Amino acid sequence: MKDISVLLTTGSARTIGEAIASGALSALTATDWYLDRIQQDKEGAKGLNCVRSVSLHAREEAKKADAELAAGRSRGPLHGVPYLVKDNVFTTDGSFASAGASALAEFLPPYEATLVSRLRDAGAILLGKTNLTEFADFVSDTMPSEFSGAGGVVRNPLGQEYGRGQGSSIGSAAAVAAGFCAFAIGSETQNSIQAPAVYTSVVGFKPTVGQVSRYGLIPLVPGQDSPGPITRTVDDALLIFQAIAGPDMNDTATLAHFPAETGSKKALQGLRIGIPRRFMADNLINDDHKAKFNDLLALLSRAGAIIVDRCEMPAAEELHAVRSCVFRAEFHESLNTFLGRLKPCGMASMRDIIAWNHSHPEAIPYGQSLLEAAARAPGIRSPQYLNDRRQDVALSLHRGVLAALAAGNADILMSPMTVAAKCTGKAGVPVVAIPAGADADGLPFGVTVYGAPGDDYAVIYAAKAIEKEIGKRLLPTFTAWGD
């Protein structure tokens, strides 16, 4: 292959896999190319700092992948394709898993996450770990998404900053956009895949909670946590979901149900797309964003989709106003369980983390107000938590997503930017973020497509059809590693 740079920086994981399978490109060449690009970024004066560490085993795994292909054994479309995982995922490749916290900066996981094992089984090559917002953005209510004590500041390859509330999988999104890997793994509790995807002009897919195992991930809110792919195309998100999803005895949430793919490939023609407006799309402050969204709906309508507008959630106003203890309570409980079991870096409880931060104030320049609030949270068996959890699910799911789908007889729902993130997070439903070009200021614009719990394939195939009509990535214009 004459010039692999265009393929590896902008190509899909599927096309990269096809090039490797055909012999036009080797897995080792692709791996070395990405590792060199990551190293240049680390050495440059204006690096993105999206990658925290690289795997000690990447080149050996790539050589093994090439040898298997040479022997006529293919593991599938991801065979030999290099990827990165978020720094809250356990690996046994010699890299740390810190969740961005300085107190855990040198924690070596004792075992591997299920999703990493499944990607290895699929033949994908682990390159290393991406930086994230510290503790998935639950340390301080003033900390920007770009920051973590362990990893520092991640820069958006499109030029703007990752500001407050733009989701914690920022390193994974930046790495995919800038061409440091073919795809990456993020995780979402409320907006941590979809927001970085929208603001970095890439695709992000958060599966239904329980469709992808969380075993081997540092938790935030287990009732809402869901790992998923960040990619350049919706088709790639499908490929990776197929590789990592499925029941896992180490995560009982995955044993409840699993969607069948059969019968879910609905084309755009006749697809009923519901548009929640009240306290959703209506909440867009930017008039240009409102106009942009309406223009995209018109394009989809002309292409044959049926736009159900308005398709309201009965509890939209209540959900917008609700304040819940669920994040604080589940974070406190799950982090204490994790720390108490493994005692990483000598930390046995959330109180230990807080005390360590007090002793190292340089590690928390934005303070730790959310951590301290979580430490005071009611227990998960308390009446307050149980009532708040029931309320969250009732408002977001039963009187939210499911009610809107039923009211409009809609196949899926769609919203601009990340206005639906609070709802989709509490409801635990599948969400695909699709880049849709730029706004009037040249900044990324995107939409999110979501549906009922377990309808992951239906949502993905609808997103593929929508992407074909309105999908448009903004490519990075940064001059990396400059003076």
Instruction: State the catalytic residues.
Output: 86, 168, 192
Contacts of 12 (CB under 8 A, 6+ apart): 182, 231, 232, 233, 235, 236
Contacts of 401 (CB under 8 A, 6+ apart): 313, 413, 423, 424, 427, 429, 450, 451, 452
Q: How far apart are CA 218 and CA 293, in angstroms?
A: 36
Contacts of 77 (CB under 8 A, 6+ apart): 13, 14, 17, 18, 21, 239
- 444-450/412-416 β-pairing: antiparallel
Question: Is residue 348 packed enough to be buried (19+ CB in 10 Å), middle (13-18) or exposed (0-12)?
Answer: middle
Q: How many residues does the chain have?
A: 483
**CA-based nearest residue to 338, from 169, 137, 98:** 98
3-state helix, strand, coil in the chain (%, to 5): 40, 15, 45
Q: How far apart are CA 127 and CA 57, in angstroms?
A: 8
Spatial contact of 240 and 359, defined as CB atoms under 8 Å apart: no
Which alpha helices (DSSP H) does 343-401 contain, by range? 350-359, 369-375, 383-393
Q: 27 to each of 2, 7, 63, 239, 368, how far by Cα in Å? A: 16, 13, 7, 18, 43
Q: How far apart are CA 4 and CA 32, in angstroms?
A: 12
Q: Which residues pair with 211 in a beta bridge?
A: none
Q: 339 to each of 41, 219, 306, how far by Cα in Å? A: 33, 10, 50
Q: How far apart are CA 21 and CA 41, in angstroms?
A: 29
DSSP state of 92: S
CA 180 to chain centre: 16
**How big is the CA angle at 197 (ends 191 and 200), to the nearest 5 degrees?**
130
Largest Cα–Cα distance in the chain?
65
Contacts of 294 (CB under 8 A, 6+ apart): none
Which alpha helices (DSSP H) does 217-325 contain, by range? 234-244, 287-302, 316-321
